[in-house]
Chains A and B, each alone.
Chain A
């Protein structure tokens, strides 16, 4: 149980284009999902908290107009990197909190490797 998927697993795009990454909780409902960014050999940096049916809460320093987050259902959140540039290249990981399990346990997706040329 508690499986989170991400799609795509990797993507290469040209500078200036937009890329959408999907995060799905497969066997549980997630009122809250989180988006992280991870640079090589570093820890996870929380970008934003996504709550179903409401606007995402962004961490300080994260551009909300560049990283658009939508959490339209209890099992799906999307992150759109708009007008991507090479500095946006990174490993993006989502997590989902099982609303029934409570207690803050987050289950993580396998990550999406974004490369912007």
Chain B
């Protein structure tokens, strides 16, 4: 079955500390992978995406993610967290070969930032 797992429901980090949000996927086809961020009451903003090529992907707001095929993972990282990064983060996977363009979302990880 196709699925995305974000093991951490809630993470709290101190401002300035590093961050890693975990994402594991189970997908039969070659995946496209995405990280989105959602602020309260808002839609989702695309942080970064992986389609092919370099497995380390750079995104907006200083985020990066690394695709590890052997581990079926696509973890999101940021070296120094800012208070404005507090939000809900969603990992998503889709098909390379355009299975209707659907995305499967993980359950989300809520990030809190301590001053």
On A, residues with C-beta under 8 Å from B are: 4, 6, 32, 34, 41-44, 46, 49, 57, 91, 93, 95, 97, 103-111, 113
Q: Which residues of A contact B90 (CB under 8 A)?
A: 43-44
Complex Cα distance, B113 from A91, in Å, reads 25
Q: Is there contact, CB below 8 Å, between A111 and B43? A: yes
- B residues in contact (CB < 8 Å) with A: 32, 34, 36, 41-46, 49, 51, 90, 94-96, 98, 100-103, 105-108, 110
A108/B49 in contact, CB under 8 A: no
Q: Using Cβ atoms and an 8 Å threshold, which residues of chain A touch B96?
A: 104
Q: Assess the A49–B101 pair: CB atoms within 8 A.
A: yes
B36 touches A108 (CB 8 A): yes
CA distance A57 to B108 in the complex (A): 25
The answer to whether A110 touches B43, judged by C-beta atoms less than 8 angstroms apart, is yes
The 6 sampled A-B contact pairs (Cβ below 8 Å) are A42-B108, A43-B106, A43-B107, A49-B102, A104-B101, A106-B103
B29 shortest CB reach to chain A, Å: 11
* A57 partner residues in chain B, CB cutoff 8 A: 100
CA distance A43 to B100 in the complex (A): 20
* A105/B34 in contact, CB under 8 A: yes
By a CB distance below 8 angstroms, the chain B residues around A109 are 43
Contact A108 B102 (CB under 8 A): no
4 nearest A-B residue pairs (beta carbon): A108-B44, A108-B43, A104-B94, A110-B43
Q: Do A43 and B105 touch across chains, with their CB atoms under 8 A apart? A: yes
How many angstroms from the CA of A90 to the CA of B18 in the assembled complex? 34
Closest chain A residue to B99, Cβ basis: A104
A105/B45 contact (C-beta < 8 A), A43-B108, A46-B102 known: no
